[in-house]
Structure 1
Amino acid sequence: MYDPYIDSELNSKQTDVASYWQAVTPGQIHYPSLQQDLSCDTLVIGAGYTGLNCGLELAAAAQRDVVVVDALQPGWGCSGRNGGFVLRGTGRLGLAQLKSKFGLDTARLFHQEYGEAVARVNQLITAGNIDCQPQAAGYYKLAHKAAMAKDLAEQAEFLQQHFGYQAKFLTKSQIQQSVVKHQQADAAVHFPDCYGLNPLALARGYAQLAVKAGAKLFGQTAVRSILRQGAGFKVITAQAVINASNVVLATNAYTAKGFYPQLNNSCLPVLSSVIVTEPLTDNQLQQLNWQQNSIMMDTRTLKYYYRLLPDKRILFGGRGAITGKAAADPIYASRLLVALKRCFAGLEQLNYQYQWSGWVGVSFDDLPRIYSPEPGLFYAAGYCGSGLSFSSLAGKRLAQLVCGQRLPALPIYQSQLPTFPFSAFRRQGQQLYYQWGRFKDHFL
């Protein structure tokens, strides 16, 4: 498996990941590779949610001459293989942590920005008539042990009091009665405007919107180098040269080693693994009292996230291997299946039918950045695995930055990603963190 921590190039001959989303999402459009030199105002590298939204915004709102290229096809990376969670947030810091770090006024601005991100996803689904199977709204953050229940009750009160957000606290018995019979959920906070969808269908819908707006989109076009040329850039691909006044890096966790060292050393690619089970029977669903298709995530340091899909399968995800070489080891899927069965009784004979992994970009301070590190060059990265909704807005913010517009007064728009200390040893640090996380989740 491609490993951006050690591989110096993401070539265009990678196969599609054999995911559930690939199996159930029809209507793939193949975008051809760039075969001849061209010039443009802005080149966007990466056709995931961020890059496609940047291209869409530059073409539609700013009437810029914009080209979007991807080493594979739109949605091949993070955007086409995630769990499909439309969340109000990004990074790994909650609003209480943001309040402690930056103050209440800034935390409220974060909350407003997160709401705009969800609204943008909703608006684009409607505008593009994107058939991404959005499910009923509702996200449950679950206390994986009784000691966490008090924290969740305080979180719900905090959100209501300081942000006017209608979060709702649920006890264990309320979860059992109105959501699902969960063996490891001692309490929950309900977020009413978050929901699940088909992430690959969303990415393909964004691609069609960007092209319709006037962006030129090329697949199978791996960028090999970016050279400064006067006030602009000369970008070398396998088949052609692109001269651009501006370059946007929308490659996040899939940024090849050495591609842009400042970004490489500030973003750790971490594998997230996912399984999708066989369909549950009506009897199994009835025994579980599984009443909603809401999305769920627990309070573990090494979190599990899951949802009931439209065809009655369970999607269950969590941390996987450390390296790309080990990603296909069946032990990681087996561990997820064991964890799933510990959550839900009566599924002892259930097996999984799909298993895959994908990289997420983790920043050192648990926050993403949308930034211009040098004239004409821009990037967005570091969503920490919580980027479906925010990356869509990040693409818009990148486009505004390219056009010289002022962004909201948030720290994530005012500074670059901080470099990891001892960045050459990030993976060793990751291994230690995983060991600590497992100990904390079990004993503390």
Structure 2
Amino acid sequence: MLNDPRSHGLWEMTAPPAPKTSTLSGTREADVVIVGGGFTGFSAALHLVERGAKVVVLEGKEIGFGGSGRNVGLVNAGMWVMPDDLPGVLGEVYGDRLLEALGNAPRVVFDLVEKHGMDCEAMPVGTLHCAVGRAGLEELGARAEQWARRGAPVTLLDAAETARKVGTNAYTGSLLDMRAGTIQPLGYVRGLATAAIAAGAEAYTSSPVIGAERAGSRWTVKTDRGAVTANWVIVATNAYTVSPWAEVRSEIVHLPYFNFATAPLSPELQAKILPGRQGAWDTEEVLSSYRFDKRGRLVFGSVGALRGTGISVHKAWARRALKRLFPEIGDVTFEAEWYGKIGMTADNLPRFHRLAPNVIGFSGYNGRGIAPGTVFGKTLARHICGEISEAELPLPVTDPVAQSFRPVREAYYELGAQIAHFARDRF
């Protein structure tokens, strides 16, 4: 996007076109103005207009420009935090609500895809969280037990079954989660936008918000060339937040994440590697992830930014790592490369903020944006329409709290990923 092939890579090459939009010019009236054209923003828009609300979406650049259009495309259930730990962090009431909402979130995504006929390569066939070493297997064993106790369709696989499911002997086991799956993320967010616009929402791109003012019970949200006046404002910008709600960005540390897409693999390799087409990732601290697209390209990613020296370091590591995992793959050709920024909070949990009267939003998805963003967008719509009160939301109301030494930590993550990948898989 914006003439940058490393922003959205394969997803921009293969996604269906975005719905036609224009830059906001002049003034508009609405019930709700949504700032941010990603999973949360367009899910909220779709569910609001289905409930009869008049909605305007303002996107600063293009639909799916932020994390929504850049990620791996794993549609996961839950968060990184262990299920049993959530009540201790959020309290019993909110912990249980969040587990229920996010445990069922992938189903919401795949149901929306089917309902609206979205062209986004949806594969609801599960995911594989792969254990590295004994410690990784113990972690997955605990996670499996905690989810199974809650009735989730998860199975802890041994090393042999994992090797058959993944196509490598590199792992000591894996956790198969049949709630989850994969999707073409840019195709999905464009599908949400198309559905929302068809249902009656207005959407404007290249329309960055520069200010917001309140007069009585109404907000006027301003861009360079126009303004929208509405009763409610949803801030749905997450890791790519800029003014006027910069406090959302202040509580998020950017963790860069890149992906490479191979040329389509041979039918023989496709039959061996991830034959069930589950998406996979591992338990390493500097983790790796991989999945196929519909044409048989293997999308392989890890922590790091594809800029400066990171381009050559990460690309060389990706080739070495793929050959270690799948020796038969040989010297691969990459057709696309891209990276984005994951918004990490201090406790790896999302936030719900009331930034001002009738200015609300969820943020801090910690690399789990697809399913939570979709569900939280729907939740915001239900709340604004009076179906659920603030006290019934899956997260408590909190104020943004800036993380200390944020720029230093972000630089450390980017450099640390380069050091890790320069040293790994060389022998």
Q: 1:103 to 1:33 in 2, by over 3 A?
A: closer
Q: Which residue of 2 aligns with 1:9?
A: none
Residues 379-418 of structure 1 deviation map (CA, whole Å, 9 limit, x = unaligned) = 2210011110110011112223334532575663332343
Q: Which residue of 1 aligns with 2:318?
A: 336
- Match for 1:273 among 258, 274, 279? 258
Residues 251-288 of structure 1 deviation map (CA, whole Å, 9 limit, x = unaligned) = 111112x43232121122322111111111123345x4
Q: Structure 1 unaligned runs (5+)?
A: 2-12
Distance apart, 1:240 and its partner CA: 1.2
Counting only pairs closer than 5 Å after superposition, residues 15-54 of structure 1 correspond to structure 2 as 17=7, 19-54=9-44
* Contact 2:71-2:340 within 8 A present in 1 as well: yes
Is 1:294–2:281 an aligned residue pair? Answer: no
Counting only pairs closer than 5 Å after superposition, residues 86-97 of structure 1 correspond to structure 2 as 86-90=75-79, 92-97=80-85
Q: Which residue of 2 aligns with 1:254?
A: 240
TM-score by length of 2: 0.89
Is 1:139–2:146 an aligned residue pair? Answer: no
The letter for the 1-side match of 2:367 is G
What is the alpha-carbon distance in structure 1 between the residues aligned to residue 48 and residue 124 of structure 2?
Answer: 32
Give 3-state SS (helix, strand or coil) of 1:72's partner: coil
* 273-282 or 399-408, which deviates more: 399-408
Q: Structure 2 unaligned runs (5+)?
A: none
Residues 48-105 of structure 1 deviation map (CA, whole Å, 9 limit, x = unaligned) = 11000111122111x2221001122222222122111111023x31213324435666
* Contact 1:79-1:203 within 8 A present in 2 as well: yes
Counting only pairs closer than 5 Å after superposition, residues 146-161 of structure 1 correspond to structure 2 as 146-160=134-148
Q: Which residue of 1 aligns with 2:162?
A: 175
* Contact 1:221-1:237 within 8 A present in 2 as well: yes
* Contact 1:180-1:289 within 8 A present in 2 as well: yes
* Contact 2:83-2:143 within 8 A present in 1 as well: no
Give 3-state SS (helix, strand or coil) of 1:163's partner: coil
* Contact 2:237-2:363 within 8 A present in 1 as well: yes
* Contact 1:368-1:417 within 8 A present in 2 as well: no
The letter for the 2-side match of 1:170 is L
- Match for 1:382 among 364, 379, 384? 364
The letter for the 1-side match of 2:60 is A
* 418-427 or 191-200, which deviates more: 418-427
Counting only pairs closer than 5 Å after superposition, residues 345-364 of structure 1 correspond to structure 2 as 345-364=327-346
Is 1:205–2:205 an aligned residue pair? Answer: no
What is the alpha-carbon distance in structure 2 between the residues aligned to residue 30 and residue 277 of structure 1?
Answer: 30
* 102-111 or 379-388, which deviates more: 102-111
Distance apart, 1:126 and its partner CA: 1.8
Q: 1:307 to 1:326 in 2, by over 3 A?
A: same
The letter for the 2-side match of 1:120 is V
Distance apart, 1:354 and its partner CA: 0.6
Give 3-state SS (helix, strand or coil) of 1:276's partner: strand
Is 1:284–2:269 an aligned residue pair? Answer: yes
* Contact 2:18-2:63 within 8 A present in 1 as well: no
| RMSD of aligned residue pairs (Cα, Å) | 2.8
* Contact 1:254-1:269 within 8 A present in 2 as well: no
TM-score by length of 1: 0.86
Distance apart, 1:250 and its partner CA: 0.7
Q: 1:426 to 1:261 in 2, by over 3 A?
A: farther
Distance apart, 1:328 and its partner CA: 7.3
Q: 1:236 to 1:94 in 2, by over 3 A?
A: same
* Contact 1:364-1:419 within 8 A present in 2 as well: no
Distance apart, 1:364 and its partner CA: 1.7
Counting only pairs closer than 5 Å after superposition, residues 421-432 of structure 1 correspond to structure 2 as 421-423=404-406, 425-428=408-411, 430=413
What is the alpha-carbon distance in structure 2 between the residues aligned to residue 315 and residue 418 of structure 1?
Answer: 35
What is the alpha-carbon distance in structure 2 between the residues aligned to residue 87 and residue 388 of structure 1?
Answer: 8
* Contact 1:367-1:382 within 8 A present in 2 as well: yes
What is the alpha-carbon distance in structure 2 between the residues aligned to residue 408 and residue 282 of structure 1?
Answer: 53
* 98-107 or 344-353, which deviates more: 98-107
Q: 1:129 to 1:285 in 2, by over 3 A?
A: closer
* Contact 1:41-1:65 within 8 A present in 2 as well: yes
Counting only pairs closer than 5 Å after superposition, residues 91-106 of structure 1 correspond to structure 2 as 92-102=80-90
What is the alpha-carbon distance in structure 2 between the residues aligned to residue 47 and residue 431 of structure 1?
Answer: 26
What is the alpha-carbon distance in structure 1 between the residues aligned to residue 240 and residue 188 of structure 2?
Answer: 19
Distance apart, 1:319 and its partner CA: 0.9
What is the alpha-carbon distance in structure 2 between the residues aligned to residue 238 and residue 309 of structure 1?
Answer: 39
Q: Which residue of 1 aligns with 2:204?
A: 218
The letter for the 1-side match of 2:359 is L
Q: 1:373 to 1:290 in 2, by over 3 A?
A: closer
The letter for the 2-side match of 1:337 is R
- Match for 2:302 among 318, 322, 329? 318
What is the alpha-carbon distance in structure 2 between the residues aligned to residue 105 and residue 240 of structure 1?
Answer: 42
Q: Which residue of 1 aligns with 2:61?
A: 72
- Match for 1:399 among 346, 360, 381? 381
The letter for the 1-side match of 2:316 is S
Q: Which residue of 2 aligns with 1:6?
A: none
The letter for the 2-side match of 1:390 is P
* Alignment size in residue pairs: 422
Distance apart, 1:314 and its partner CA: 0.7
What is the alpha-carbon distance in structure 1 between the residues aligned to residue 86 and residue 415 of structure 2?
Answer: 26
* 143-152 or 41-50, which deviates more: 143-152
* Contact 1:83-1:315 within 8 A present in 2 as well: yes
Distance apart, 1:300 and its partner CA: 1.3
What is the alpha-carbon distance in structure 1 between the residues aligned to residue 145 and residue 391 of structure 2?
Answer: 27
* Contact 1:280-1:313 within 8 A present in 2 as well: yes
The letter for the 2-side match of 1:23 is M
What is the alpha-carbon distance in structure 1 between the residues aligned to residue 27 and residue 235 of structure 2?
Answer: 20
